[in-house]
Structure 1
Amino acid sequence: MGFSDFRKALKKIDSSLKEHKQQKQGQQLDNGGQQVQQLDNGGQQVQQADPQFSSNPTNPSKGDLFSRPIATSEPPAIFKRVKHNQLPKGCNYGENDAPIQTNNFSNNLALEDQTFPVWPLPYSLWLSKDPGQDVGLAVNHTEANQQVFGPEPDADPAQFYFNPPKIKSFVFSGENFQESNVNLNLENHQKLSIVAKLSVTGNQNVTFPIVHGMGFVTAVYKKIKPVIASQVGVQQFKKIGSVGKNVTKYRAVLFNQVPWSIYVSGDDVSLDLRDPNHIVGNSQPGGSVVIQLAREESKHYDNSAGIYPIAAHLQGSVNGKKGQYKFVYENKGESSNGTGLVWCLPHHQEVLTNEVKKQDTGLELDSTTKGVMKAYTTNQIVMEEPELPLDIGFEPWSSVSGFKGEATYSDGAKTVIRRAAEQEINQDVIGMANIDSMYTSGKILDKFAYIAYVTHFILNDDDLTGKILPKIKEAIEIFAQNKQKYPLVYDTAWKGLISSAEPAADFGNSNYNDHHFHYGYHIHAIALVAKIDQSFDKGEWLKENNNLVGDYVITLLRDIANPSTDDKYFPQSRAFDWFHGHSFAHGIFASGDGKDEESSSEDYHFAYGTKLLGQVIGDGDIEARANLMLAIMRRSMNMHMLFSDDNKIQPKRFIKNKVAGITFENKVDFATYFGRGTISDEWIHGIHMLPITPISSYIRKPSFVKEEWDQKLGRIVDQIPDGWKGILILNAALFDPKYSWKWFSRDDWDDRLIDNGMSRTWSLAYIAGIGGSD
């Protein structure tokens, strides 16, 4: 349902809620305003979530969480249409073409000269056009023992580690391939997959389906004589023979002593070693021939060869606290066992269903930054997260011992909180928020929305709420009307909502950097204000005909978290990578180490804001997807970004850093893009903390927070002279709320010691609510 349609429906609430429910039950308004019946996957009528705002968690509708879009209507006209000045390479990007992923593993192939690597895992691939060398798609896999640590090679902990890039174990090339006559085109842009095609002429090409977790690297040669080059060099090459229906196996051992299995199926083409650097086909296929590579040897490779995935599709569902998500592989070809082979990361392995676990091959290969992958013979990977955060809503919540599950406040605590609120509501909300940065403005809006939330729901003070709420509404409406200093525009090339500022401004928003950070703050702020408005102003804010807030927030959400390929205006799940288990913040800038993310906390803040928005507008699917994301994030981030002492995934020499810093696809760097800290490394730790909300303690376990404090932060916090001090001390409430309360409630308060996106009001309310006050 488009949100403009949703607003029209809300107008009917005033006459009779009961009548409204009867009119809406089992129906949905399409973009033309016609009533259409919606069916679940089993053909049964689905009861839609009542659009009346609800303070209770809603239930997702039946069926696949990724099958129904948030909306399919054209983005609102207030967003001017532009064509990005950096166009995707090798892609069709007309207005009627499918959206192109910008923050995805495949994006490097659409940027600059298209030669930057991609990491579908466990392999890396890139277009090789080096002068004097074979032209084609190069393949490599690195082991953990090849990782390079620095800048001090023997330091413990090391500041960074990376995997050697662009070692050409193999290059899928072809007869007469030259830099001048080979073009790389990209097709079938999906969240988990893409199809790359090297073309010489229209009917002569090599097609590479590139899919997350693919068991083999697959090349489909059409009317081109195969040439497989190796810069490492082939020491041994042997034809093994038939291993399946029309599948022939070869064994190649490179000069680095790594064995590879090579499989050929399709047309009658055989391979021979021409010289140590070239394996060649004996003829040009009349139709097509499929060549597949896999590192090492195994009967499981033999039994799965011949099948290859051309795409992978997301599916998901939620049932109570349990959430399930699937990668369903769309395959071509035949194998002797009837299935393909898929590689899984450690956070997948922990929650695979028993049916998938039975297909464990025992094969293992190192990933680049996320531990040891395992292979399963299956056509779909199914994971079940058992503990979705259904019980975490707007109110302060913590997993710290002593918290009873419900925020409570003494009169003394309320007195301290009220004094802080009386001072902070007098600030210039509109002036502070209406600036030239979607990111910073979002933080400011969120800050004051939380103050209004505290005055209304915790202090129950109508006078204070009446002073702050209109100001925060007016500030939000500037953005909802797209009248901020740099209005957002809709990019018809990549298809997304971007800033009209220069690419170097606002952390690269116009080049798709950090959208989930930026828009996540706005979404969370609007959810808070809508929640307050329900009871303080009878919910009129989102019902008014002249109010565009609903259209605005839904368009932001579609940009960063569109669930469905049926929405042709935005890519599916721009931010969150369902395979990696966290988002990537890096937009359309080519990178030799792939996509990256710095702030794990602003990542889950985006998911938390999405959850609250879904709850407050009564959209169970939005809320359910966000809950599922948060459960996946908790597992993945505590393996790959937040390091408890018992972490078994990251290199031992890196765990002592306690946090990742910046997580790339091929590197992890204990750093930030803006520096390390005034005193020590506090900025690196703090960027994984802010903002502290009820969801923080769900992700950041008390035991981890205490370890980080004892080993890294406790000894430096008193010396920090700026707003990062407040961030660190509020984070300390996740294991010791009484310590944090003592600092935030003291009389000699100094506003310079908290971040511009923090309020003392919310900090005190959160700490007191989880048991920190006396």
Structure 2
Amino acid sequence: MIHCLTLVVAIALIVRLPTIAAINQSQNQKIIRQESIADIFDPFNVNRMQQSAEVCPRKDTVFVSDSSNAAMCDSEVGKIELPDTMLRPISTDPPLNIFRPHAHVVKPMRVRVRDRAGPLPTNKFYGNLILGDSHAPLWTHPYGLRWESNDVAQQGLGISHIDDNMKVFGPEQPISEVPGAGTAKYYINPFLVSMGLSATEFDAEHDMTVGDFGEFDCTMVLSPASERARGTLETPSSFIRVPIVRGMAFITGVYQDLTPQIFSSILVRTLTRDANPMMDGWIKYRFLIENGITWLLYAKPDRPRGPALHLKMVNQRKITATSGKFRGLIQIAKLPVGREAESERIYDNSVGVYTTGGELVVRQKYFDGGEGGYRIDWRLAGDINKQFIHFTLPHHRAVLTGASKPTSLVLPSTTKGKMVAYVGSSWHLHESERLSIGFLPKDWSSIVTQEQLDMIRRQAQQDVELDFDRDTNLDSMYFAGKSLAKFALLNLVLKKSFERFMDNRQKFPLVYDTTWKGLISIQGLEHGALADFGNSWYNDHHYHYGYFIHTAAIIRHLDPTWRKDDVTSFTNNLLRDVANPSPDDPHFPVFRSFDWFMGHSWSQGIFVSLDGKDEESTSEDINLYYALSLWGKVSNRPELDQLGQLMLTIARRTIQNYFLLEDDNMNHPRAFVGNKVTGILFENKVDHSTYFSPRIECIQGIQMIPATPALPLVRRRRFVQQEWDSLLRPHVKQIEDGWRSILMMNYGMLDKDEAWRYFLGPVPLDDGMTKTWAMFFVASLQS
């Protein structure tokens, strides 16, 4: 076995990184083409084209294609914007031959044929639509949506929105000493269908198809069973087409030759058509449902002389059009309680324009010094001359700059606080402090004393005798990755043990899944979906592979020539699986785990979940972005370094807003804030728990690993103090296993002297930790 360097030797070897090459700005651009009015009724925009330049759309029709977007142009009319994108492919080569091709046992459901050929999203918010029977809900925020076909009275798209006073709370946990901050174990938003888009032609056999998968969006098409009978399901002549987009202000249905029908499981108390005619041929209905909430429905035919929509209540659950088949737009929105008149005026001014999706833009020019940023351009359709509104989350509003302006329209999200509608179709999100971190903590050499270094050296001489090979040859990608990373942090070099995985000779090798397109452990395909935490079902890839990427970066930093091509190819394959930044890579989906609207990753893969995607370990989430940045540094890929820094910076903001709950947190109910961490945050529920243990040290501690230089930047001292005082101090001395070591490393942020003394004695350690690194981490903390 090749002997590893001790930590102290490794510290001496921290030298200047290789000179970063200039960023190559050459790339392909795309044209944004306006299509004819007829193209809006192509359910998936089959005629959408991509060419070699980006141009501004014309504004000469009411109905324009999904690919039109005035926001993608510079302020000068007609000026072509040439982006210096940082979202270039890591590689476009096929996966390494060591990853044997293997079809997955889970097949995507109801996906349009031409979307099945490419990489498929596994961890996106709309995943429930393409899994199982496709009836589990999804959340665009603020609205929840669900395909309905099981209830004879509800056929089509169900729409839900829950106000804060309707959230349901779990039992109180006696674990907090924070005055006024409750500790309900969980809270959840019931899914109640307030409104539903349907057609009289739909029955229990009607169809739903999904396609046009994007970072923020997908497209749903609902069609009657007659289309399937005629063999025209892929190109139906009658349908409802619904763009499903994060943050959309209206639920928009594009109707083609169907008779509209609206349903409600809460029951409609009154249906009123607005007596005052609206501009541009729009009509408006108010639905007052039995819980006292008013919903608005707007409608306009696609032709100036087309028949207007006339609705009639059949019963409290069903409202049907008496005006016959309809071709045009129907848009639905909820009025916030207490702000009905003011909010209705905002909706009135914005009706007719809607978003069909968003484009993520990350450019080199957004990075200057220690700053960074990104842009979301919302693709517009309909009357793009209208005022466009879109809902923002708290972390968006903290960094939104430019022309985007807030309105007084506010609706609560399910698990992330209030959403405020902003005017503007181009969001510029600017982070003034971009996190840039090296392999070791900042200023460690001026903080760690010589006496501490001598003690660390003596401990390292003991730890280096550990059997690295044995301790990393495990039957879990997750635990093997943790072990590799702990030895890498100890020695900052680890070759032989890493070599096993680089050659794919571990107990359960990785295979390339030809169905969904990704790298998965063979273990789950052989032993069941939950093996290795569901890795084979695309659970937790950002946790698992982040450890390997971190290890590879350390090896490359200290020995740049060792199996250089093999290390690069292996690491890039893992990165492409979990964080491929470009659709030009045909072998992996774009940003499998990271959600650029939510600002963090989702852990859950291809499992049906009634509460949507979830995230558990925020610290292992940030470890991936940290590892991506380090790998960009050592592999001379500055765009990856900066991308990792940006994702880490965004995740810090969202973690501090939504996951690590300080006493004054306003994004979660007061009945829950006393838990201090969310535990498992779903799209529709928050549960103060873990998937593996109900112990308080596990629920809190899973947010503390691995203890890298990135961790203290996310865990604010104020939060650590509050969590320690209210939850951990009474429990820590009762813990007898390795979780205590995790809590004590965290406590070092408050009292490094006491934490240092703790690690001087014989203590049980977490399986991802060495005593040498624990001592160095604590010693290097800022006082």
Which of residues 582, 585, 588 is equivalent to 1:567?
585
Structure 1 gaps, min length 5: 1-16, 31-38, 43-61, 398-403, 454-468, 534-538
User: How far apart are the structure 2 equivalents of 1:564 and 1:27?
Assistant: 15
2:134 equivalent to 1:119 = no
Which secondary structure does the structure 2 equivalent of 1:319 belong to? coil
Which of residues 308, 313, 317 is equivalent to 1:269?
308
After superposition, give the CA deviation of every residue in 1:164-210 in whole Å (9 maximum; x if it has no partner): 12x11112111131112x11111101111000111221212111100
User: How far apart are the structure 1 equivalents of 2:20 and 2:449?
Assistant: 40
Whether contact under 8 Å (1:593, 1:664) holds in the other structure is: yes
Deviation at 1:21, TM superposition (A): 10
Give the aligned residue type for 2:213.
H
Aligned equivalent of 1:35: none
Question: What percent identity do the matched residue pairs reach?
Answer: 38
2:94 equivalent to 1:74 = yes
Which secondary structure does the structure 2 equivalent of 1:245 belong to? helix
Aligned equivalent of 2:523: 501
After superposition, give the CA deviation of every residue in 1:693-732 in whole Å (9 maximum; x if it has no partner): 1111110011111111111112211111100000000111
Whether contact under 8 Å (1:72, 1:568) holds in the other structure is: yes
* Counterparts of residues 594-633 of structure 1 (less than 5 Å): 594-633=612-651
Aligned equivalent of 1:289: 328
1:25 to 1:332, Cα distance in 2 relative to 1, 3 A: closer
Whether contact under 8 Å (1:98, 1:189) holds in the other structure is: no
Deviation at 1:474, TM superposition (A): 1.4
Aligned equivalent of 1:694: 709
Aligned equivalent of 1:345: 393
Deviation at 1:138, TM superposition (A): 0.3
Which of residues 413, 416, 435 is equivalent to 1:389?
435
Deviation at 1:381, TM superposition (A): 2.1
Which secondary structure does the structure 2 equivalent of 1:423 belong to? helix
Deviation at 1:69, TM superposition (A): 1.6
Whether contact under 8 Å (1:477, 1:548) holds in the other structure is: no
Aligned equivalent of 2:162: 142
Aligned equivalent of 2:196: 171
* Counterparts of residues 503-542 of structure 1 (less than 5 Å): 503-533=529-559, 539-542=560-563
Deviation at 1:566, TM superposition (A): 1.7
Give the aligned residue type for 2:359.
H
Aligned equivalent of 2:129: 109
Give the aligned residue type for 2:716.
K
Aligned equivalent of 1:4: none
Deviation at 1:382, TM superposition (A): 2.1
Deviation at 1:771, TM superposition (A): 5.4
Which of residues 245, 249, 254 is equivalent to 1:211?
245
Aligned equivalent of 1:422: 461
Whether contact under 8 Å (1:658, 1:708) holds in the other structure is: yes
1:82 to 1:269, Cα distance in 2 relative to 1, 3 A: farther
Give the aligned residue type for 2:283.
T
2:490 equivalent to 1:445 = no
1:27 to 1:311, Cα distance in 2 relative to 1, 3 A: closer
Deviation at 1:448, TM superposition (A): 0.6
User: How far apart are the structure 2 equivalents of 1:95 and 1:580?
Assistant: 24
1:642 to 1:347, Cα distance in 2 relative to 1, 3 A: same
User: How far apart are the structure 2 equivalents of 1:25 and 1:105?
Assistant: 33
Which of residues 409, 421, 434 is equivalent to 2:448?
409
Deviation at 1:542, TM superposition (A): 4.3
* Counterparts of residues 291-690 of structure 1 (less than 5 Å): 291-296=330-335, 297-316=343-362, 317-334=366-383, 338-356=386-404, 359-390=405-436, 392-397=437-442, 407-453=446-492, 469=493, 472-502=494-524, 503-533=529-559, 539-543=560-564, 548-677=566-695, 681-690=696-705
Deviation at 1:63, TM superposition (A): 4.5
Deviation at 1:101, TM superposition (A): 1.3
Aligned equivalent of 2:254: 220
User: How far apart are the structure 1 equivalents of 2:380 and 2:515?
Assistant: 29
Deviation at 1:129, TM superposition (A): 1.8
User: How far apart are the structure 2 equivalents of 1:394 and 1:120?
Assistant: 38
User: How far apart are the structure 2 equivalents of 1:609 and 1:652?
Assistant: 35
So what's the TM-score if we normalise by structure 2? 0.83
Whether contact under 8 Å (1:198, 1:205) holds in the other structure is: yes
Deviation at 1:109, TM superposition (A): 0.7
1:360 to 1:657, Cα distance in 2 relative to 1, 3 A: same
User: How far apart are the structure 2 equivalents of 1:230 and 1:376?
Assistant: 28
2:778 equivalent to 1:767 = yes
Which of residues 722, 741, 749 is equivalent to 1:707?
722
Deviation at 1:221, TM superposition (A): 1.2
User: How far apart are the structure 1 equivalents of 2:237 and 2:54?
Assistant: 39
Give the aligned residue type for 2:516.
W
Whether contact under 8 Å (1:740, 1:767) holds in the other structure is: yes
Which secondary structure does the structure 1 equivalent of 2:558 belong to? helix
1:222 to 1:439, Cα distance in 2 relative to 1, 3 A: same
Whether contact under 8 Å (2:312, 2:322) holds in the other structure is: no
Give the aligned residue type for 2:199.
G
Deviation at 1:352, TM superposition (A): 1.0
1:27 to 1:656, Cα distance in 2 relative to 1, 3 A: closer
* Counterparts of residues 38-49 of structure 1 (less than 5 Å): none
Structure 2 gaps, min length 5: 1-16, 29-51, 56-81, 175-180, 228-235, 336-342
Whether contact under 8 Å (1:215, 1:340) holds in the other structure is: no
Which secondary structure does the structure 1 equivalent of 2:367 belong to? strand
Aligned equivalent of 1:754: 765
Aligned equivalent of 1:400: none
User: How far apart are the structure 2 equivalents of 1:207 and 1:231?
Assistant: 22
Whether contact under 8 Å (1:134, 1:177) holds in the other structure is: no
Give the aligned residue type for 1:238.
T
When structure 1 is superposed on structure 2, of 363-372 and 636-645 the one drifting more is: 636-645
Give the aligned residue type for 2:737.
D
RMSD: 2.5
Which of residues 232, 249, 255 is equivalent to 2:290?
255
Whether contact under 8 Å (1:207, 1:219) holds in the other structure is: yes
Whether contact under 8 Å (2:352, 2:386) holds in the other structure is: no
User: How far apart are the structure 2 equivalents of 1:271 and 1:95?
Assistant: 37
2:253 equivalent to 1:243 = no
1:25 to 1:481, Cα distance in 2 relative to 1, 3 A: same
Which secondary structure does the structure 1 equivalent of 2:204 belong to? coil
Aligned equivalent of 1:196: 220
Deviation at 1:64, TM superposition (A): 4.9
Whether contact under 8 Å (1:93, 1:493) holds in the other structure is: no
1:29 to 1:412, Cα distance in 2 relative to 1, 3 A: farther
Aligned equivalent of 1:87: 107
Whether contact under 8 Å (1:271, 1:279) holds in the other structure is: no
Give the aligned residue type for 2:411.
L
Whether contact under 8 Å (1:93, 1:99) holds in the other structure is: no
Which of residues 164, 180, 184 is equivalent to 1:158?
184
Deviation at 1:744, TM superposition (A): 1.0
Whether contact under 8 Å (2:158, 2:195) holds in the other structure is: yes
Whether contact under 8 Å (1:94, 1:492) holds in the other structure is: no
User: How far apart are the structure 1 equivalents of 2:188 and 2:755?
Assistant: 37
Aligned length: 682
Whether contact under 8 Å (2:310, 2:323) holds in the other structure is: no
Aligned equivalent of 2:34: none
Give the aligned residue type for 1:324.
G
User: How far apart are the structure 2 equivalents of 1:144 and 1:21?
Assistant: 50
User: How far apart are the structure 2 equivalents of 1:738 and 1:445?
Assistant: 28
